[in-house]
Amino acid sequence: MLAGGEKVPAPVQLVQSPTETVDILVAKTDIGVGRAVSNEDMYWQPWPVKAAGPLFIRKSVRPNAIEDLKGSVARATFVAGEPIREQKLVKADGSGFMSAILSAGMRAVSTEISAETGAGGFILPNDRVDVLLTRKEAPRAGGGDNVVSETILRNVRVLAIDQTVEEKNGQKVVVGKTTTLELSARQTETLALSRQRGTLSLALRSLADAKPVRAGGDQPEDDSDRSMGNINFVRYGVTSVQTTK
């Protein structure tokens, strides 16, 4: 009570009306380009109605969206918590799957590999690899086989690789028999010609030096290592060195 007998006015309480929400389908984890989404990658999350864009998938409209979209392939990256938009997905069984994940101006080219030529099963989609050609040349003057190896393509992106689990030396290993690479028009011609000349091998590159390829698909690199020397081979997880000089 104030001086003079006046009463203290009661504090004004602001009542905030609850925000109206709607359940929106969002990514539970980060989803990279070319990855097939599963049920565990998506979930329903309350979203303010005013912020729910027209391209967002609403549970009230499509309650079976998680089941409908599972197996679709991301044609663009999703980050955890990002609303799922169908425009960024493509059905894996559709004709546009591979063209959807190809970079502009690039081609998808498949080639046969084995455990011995494919880094022992460690290569996965979106990895970057070098392609090596091993071929026989005219016998040396002293006799004996003259086998040489050279890097014909550098820092190319793996779009897909078929993989099966096989048993090698009592251990189960993942082996791919065909890989699909993202190549420029010139690289496609190089690969096609090299298939007729010898055996192709893939060398997995480290993430640290797998830089994006500039337009046209050619990666500027020092070509000084094209001369013959020591080549590291990875077979079933074991590295060995072969001298080709």
User: pTM value?
Assistant: 0.52
Higher-pLDDT residue of 116, 217: 116
Judge whether residue 206 has pLDDT over 70.
Answer: yes
Mean pLDDT of 130-159: 83
| Domains of the chain from N-terminus onward | 21-100 (3.90.1210.10), 103-243 (no CATH)
For residue 116, the model assigns a pLDDT of: 54
Burial class (CB in 10 A: 0-12, 13-18, 19+), 79: exposed
Instruction: Name the pLDDT band for 224 (thresholds 50, 70, 90).
Output: very low
Judge whether residue 18 has pLDDT over 80.
Answer: no
For residue 41, the model assigns a pLDDT of: 94
Residue-wise pLDDT tens digits, 132-144: 998 887 776 666 6
Which 3 state secondary structure label does DSSP give 43?
Answer: strand
Contact, 179 vs 111, CB < 8 A? yes
Burial class (CB in 10 A: 0-12, 13-18, 19+), 103: middle
Judge whether residue 164 has pLDDT over 70.
Answer: no
Higher-pLDDT residue of 231, 114: 114
